[in-house]
Every structure is written in C-alpha cells, then in structure tokens.
Structure 1
Amino acid sequence: MKFEFYKPERNVTGPAYNPFFKLLATVVTAFLAAYGWNIVMRFPLLQYGIGVKALLLGAAVMLVISYYWFLRSTVTVDEKGITQTWMYNRQVEWRDIRSAKMIGIPFLSWIFPPRLVVRTGNAFTTFNGGSQAVLVEFAKISLAYQMKK
C-alpha cells in the first residue's frame, strides 16, 4: 500500500496561461515578426553566409513554436499528479513531491498569475495556471504541503 500525501477531489484541467498573457504573447510575437520582416526587407540577406541565414531561420522557427505552445499549453491535476503540456511535457507524480508553494510577482498578478513551484528531490518544477479552477487547485496543493511541515 502506497501512502500519497495529497489526492485531488476531482480532476482539473485548464489553460496554462491566462487570456491576458496570451494577448501579450500575441502582441510581442507580432512585433518581433514585423521587426524580422523589416530586417529581411532592408538588408540583402542572400549575400550573407549560411550561418547568418540558419540563425535567422532558427530564430523564426523558435518564435513560431513558442507562440503555438503558449496558446495551446494546458495543465492537468489528477490522481496521478500534475502535468503541463508544452514542447516537452512536465509531469510530477504525487509520490515524488516533497514540497509545493505558490509564488507570484507582487502587483503584477493580473499579467503573470501565481505559479506552483514543486520540489522533487533536488529539482524544482514550475507549473503555470491560467484559469481560476487550476489556481484554486494549486492553492489547495500549496496549503496541503505547507501543513505537512
């Protein structure tokens, strides 16, 4: 029989980033894309070496991939643990968690909502919450592990 310290009452799934943060990501991505297009139009990039071309192409690809995952990333809290989808998925099982705490940036929580920082052994994993249901579950997890001390 395994002892697990925390078990959620129900499964909770929601976006990892709130709508305002997604809007901010859209504005920054559009600005960077426009700036990149401005650079392409002003400079004769075909005359530069393959390294410069590869660097600019790599930067553009990473911008598109990051933007895609900002919009699509989700967080799930279930009976197995906490999972956040991204380019690579972050997953922590309940049996591996040593402590959990919510952290936030004072006065900027309307842009950057609080995050759940989970300690597993020597590593820390951060989970973002973009919906009220996920943030409430994060608060319950944080409270449960603070009472454990």
Structure 2
Amino acid sequence: MFSAQHIPSEQERSELLDSIGPLPLQGVAWPKWIKILACLVLVFIGVMIIQTAAGPTGKAVSPMVAGSILLCFVGLVVLARYMLISQTRITQKGIEQSWISRREVAWEDIQFAKFIPLVASKRLICFTARGRPVVFQAGTRELQVAFARIALVYRRQK
C-alpha cells in the first residue's frame, strides 16, 4: 500500500519545468485519429437515425423516444466538438485544459500525479488536497513526455 507522499521542493519543481522545455507547452488534448474516429461514429449514428426516421419503423416510434434519442445525439455532438477544440497547456503556474468547464490545477495544489498511457488517450491524473482528482489528456508527443516527467516528480513513495 502507498503511504508516504513525495511533494517536490521548489527546486525539484523548477528542474521539472526546465526539463519540460520552454513554457507554456501547449497542444491538443486528443490525438487526431481519435478525433477522426469520433466524427465518423457521429456521422454513422446520424445516418442511422435519419434512415430509421425515414423508414416505416420510424413512424411507429413514440415522439418521446424520438426526442430522447435526438437529445442524446445532440449531447454526443457537443462532446465531440469539445474533443475537437480542447487544448492542454502546461505553464509556470500549473496545468490547464479547455473543456466543457475549464480544468486547471496549480503546481502547489498537486499532492500526487499518475500518468496513464491508454491506447486512445494519454492521461495525467492529478490528485489534490481538495480530494477530487483532475484529469488532463495529452494528444501530442511533447505533452505525453511532459506528463510522464510530471508523474515521476509527483509520485508516491512506497
């Protein structure tokens, strides 16, 4: 079990920021192939909705069900739009990401950070004293490397 936390000193944090490179480091939050895949899935779902609505089965669907399906589709479109435009920035103050609501965390607030290299998204999960973790995505190689370095400095000791 993890017990001791490694909160870096001001010097360690300064060395980390120097190793990341010139700041601010900014890039897309999601990789291009994920954005393309999300758009293709949305087009496919939209075509299926239109085909079903125009066919004989569409006439038998309750207006409440049809409205619910359309509302869910609009929600997916909004999420996809934010995936397309979302940016992640690493600055002298901390890490921030544009999203439906702005995500940000100051360096002083980070208690522990973990880098999660998933296939679709490389993520940095920052745990703060407030208890709620803040998740950032990295869509570029530079951000991914920076996330890995941040996780090494803000790791938990066994």
Alignment TM-score, normalising by the size of structure 2: 0.78
Structure 2 stretches of 5 or more lacking a match? 1-8
Identity %: 28
CA distance in 2, matches of 1:96, 1:116: 15
**Which one of 126, 133, 137 corresponds to residue 146 of structure 2?**
137
Deviations 1:75-123 (A, max 9, x none): 0110111111111111111111100111123xxx3xx142111111222
Whether the 8 Å CA contact 2:96–2:105 is kept in 1: the answer is yes
Equivalence for 2:29: 16
> Which residue does the alignment assign to 1:120?
128
Taking the aligned partners of 2:143 and 2:109, their CA distance within structure 1 comes to 20
Which residue of structure 2 aligns with residue 69 of structure 1? 82
> TM-score normalized by structure 1?
0.82
SS of match in other structure, 1:6: helix
Structure 2 counterpart of 1:6? 13
Given candidates 51, 70, 79, the residue that maps to 2:92 is: 79
Q: Greater shift after overlay, 58-67 or 12-21?
A: 58-67
Partner of 1:44: 59
Determine which of 40, 47, 60 is the counterpart of 1:27. Answer: 40
Query: What residue identity is the alignment partner of 1:101?
Result: K
Higher relative contact order (CA 8 A, sep 6+): 2
Structure 1: where are the runs of 5+ without partners? Answer: none
Aligned length: 139
C-alpha distance in 2, partners of 1:133/1:41? 47
Structure 1: which 4+ aligned runs deviate by more than 6 Å? none
Q: CA deviation at 1:53?
A: 4.3
CA distance in 2, matches of 1:55, 1:126: 29
Deviations 1:24-46 (A, max 9, x none): 1122111111111122212127x
